[in-house]
Each structure stands twice: as C-alpha cells, then as structure tokens.
C-alpha cells in the first residue's frame, strides 16, 4: 500500500521521501506504513511544488486533522481520487471550542467526504459517529516499543518525578502545569522537567518563589525525543495531571521505560496502562497519596509496572496497523 500522511509536524528532511523516523508523534504512522509525510500547510502553500492531483499516486492518504488542516483535507478529497482517512489529531475540545463556526462546518463536510475516521479516545466515538455516516473507530498512535526497549535497558532509578508537559512555548497557553507543580510541592521530591523553550524555565522559577518545591532539575531538550526518552528512563515515576480527553503520549512513555505514571483517566493510554494510578486532574490529595504509596510500597510499585507491561502491546505497530486496516477495509 502506497501511503502518505499530511500532518502539522514541522518540516523534516524526509518529507516527500520514505519516512523512517520512529518517535512518539503522529508522523510515526508514515514510518510503520512504509510511506511518506508532508506538512499540510506547506503543501497547500506550494512549498513542495506539487498540486493536489499528486495524491492520486497513493492508495491511502491520512490527514492528521487539526484546525489548520481541515481545508487541506477537503482539497485532497475534492481534487484527487485517493482513499482518505481522517485521524483526529487533537482532543475533542479542540474541534468543539477552539475553531470557528465556519471551520466546524467545513470539518463536518470533510468527515462525510472522507472514507473513514480514526479517533484517539474511545469517549469521542459517539460524538464523531453522530457527525458522519462514514466508519468511525479508535485507532490510536503506534508506539516504537521495540526500539525504546533497545535504547532504554533497565537502569537504577533516581528518586525523581518526571513531570509531563508544563507549558508550551507560548505565554498564553498552559497545559495544567500549575497542577503538576502543586502536587510536587506536597511530596518533597525532586521534579524533572523536559524544557523546550526558555519561557518554560522562567514560568517555573516564578512559581517556585511561592511554592515549597524541594528541587526542579531542568533538562534542556535540544537533542530531540530520543534524548528525552533515554533520560526519562532514570526517573522513578511520572506525573501528568492533564484535564484533556486525549490519547496521552506521556503515560505510554512512562510504561515503555518501566516507571509508573500518575495521571487522569481522561488520558486514554493512562486508563489502559495504569488503571490503579488514575486520579482526576484536580485531585491534589489523591495524586499526592498515590505518589507517596509508589515511593514507599515496593510491591505496589512493581505491580503497577508489571500490569502496564502486560498491556503495552496494545499500542505496538502491529496492533495499531491492524486497527487502521480494519477501519478502511
């Protein structure tokens, strides 16, 4: 099957070529399908020097849908004859709240023109099934499990908490970082923060002036995801109190390097991998209690890790690819 993914991931040298990069992000679909990737907006702008008839060369085009790619997806379906599957590459709130009414109408039109719709959270199934007569199913994101196991052998864990996303590189958009820091201030352990932008450091330092956080260790991530995952392997456990109903990349990162993760069940992978460590994102006392029990109770810790290991194959290349092929068949 000749496969192409249109996403919003930044430009990569392998765009338009055989894509082989195996990291925990949307573009991995091209890697496991033996296909290629283009940035949807750059394609529409003409940066690749191609028109939409070009997609006739492919058996399947996957459009990773966000507000920026709705019109791109419509053009693929209108101007080519290829089969198109929509991958809803954001939480439901993105599509219901954060895009204009005009774009919402275009999105519904696209969902009904596409050949199938793939979602990243089972709780969004009824909503999208109501919007389209096309097949809708949970497919998810493949995870490079075998590769991570080679990169990240068992190591001696440090008594540190790996924190999920703190803040994006915009001062106006915060992803529940303050909730993570509130828990950290109550447990008295060092937190590790993967930093991608100086504004994140400034934000955390300003909070630390007023919260009794023992220590924050900043990991400046200018070497990419491989460096992040090999370093995260040394953390004792993960914490990510995120209020979105989304796929949840962080819990599966944690499971892959054999550390428990405390997070809300609204993250789909958390619910599957760490059901005993689920806590509502606003439940500070509950999260603190789970962290302290993981640190003090070796059996509880090992049981959480063992259970996650028994479930993680659900997100393997083979399982995700099978779900996609079943959806489009």
Q: If you average pLDDT over residues 76-81, what whole number do you get? A: 97
Beta bridge partners of 192: 162, 217
The secondary structure of residue 157, as a DSSP letter, is P
Q: What percent of the chain has pLDDT over 70?
A: 97
Mean pLDDT, the chain, integer:
92
Going from the N-terminus, what domains does the chain have, and what CATH number goes with each?
Answer: 3-141 (3.40.50), 145-314 (3.40.50.2000)
For residue range 139-166, list pLDDT tens digits in order: 999 999 999 999 999 999 999 999 987 6
Asked if the model's pLDDT at residue 169 lies above 50, the reply is: no
> DSSP code of 174?
B
Cβ atoms within 10 Å of 159's Cβ, excluding its own: 10
Burial class of residue 200 (count of CB atoms within 10 Å of its CB; 0-12, 13-18, 19+): buried
Summarised one tens digit per residue, pLDDT across range 82-93 is 999 999 998 888
Closest CA to 180 of 299, 287, 57, 96: 287
């Amino acid at each position: 099957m000749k496969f192409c993914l249109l996403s919003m991931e930044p430009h990569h040298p392998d765009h338009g070529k055989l894509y082989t990069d195996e990291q925990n992000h949307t573009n991995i679909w091209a890697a496991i399908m033996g296909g290629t990737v283009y940035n949807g907006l750059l394609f529409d702008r003409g940066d690749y020097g191609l028109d939409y008839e070009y997609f006739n060369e492919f058996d399947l085009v996957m459009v990773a849908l966000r507000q920026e790619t709705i019109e791109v997806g419509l053009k693929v379906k209108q101007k080519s004859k290829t089969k198109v599957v929509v991958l809803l590459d954001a939480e439901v709130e993105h599509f219901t709240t954060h895009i204009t009414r005009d774009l919402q109408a275009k999105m519904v039109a696209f969902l009904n023109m596409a050949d199938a719709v793939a979602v990243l959270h089972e709780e969004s199934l009824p909503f999208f099934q109501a919007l389209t007569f096309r097949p809708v199913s949970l497919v998810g994101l493949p995870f490079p499990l075998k590769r991570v196991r080679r990169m990240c052998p068992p190591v001696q864990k440090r008594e540190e908490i790996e924190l999920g996303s703190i803040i994006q590189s915009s001062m106006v958009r915060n992803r529940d970082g303050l909730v993570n820091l509130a828990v950290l201030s109550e447990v008295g352990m060092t937190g590790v923060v993967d930093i991608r932008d100086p504004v994140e450091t400034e934000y955390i330092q300003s909070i630390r002036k007023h919260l009794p956080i023992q220590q924050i260790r900043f990991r400046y991530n200018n070497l990419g995801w491989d460096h992040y995952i090999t370093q995260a392997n040394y953390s004792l456990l993960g914490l990510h109190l995120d209020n979105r109903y989304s796929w949840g990349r962080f819990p599966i990162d944690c499971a892959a390097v054999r550390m428990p993760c405390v997070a809300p069940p609204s993250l789909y992978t958390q619910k599957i991998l760490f059901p005993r460590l689920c806590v509502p994102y606003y439940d500070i006392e509950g999260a603190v209690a789970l962290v302290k029990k993981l640190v003090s109770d070796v059996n509880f810790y090992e049981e959480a890790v063992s259970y996650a290991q028994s479930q993680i194959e659900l997100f393997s290349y083979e399982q995700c690819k099978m779900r996609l092929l079943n959806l489009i068949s």
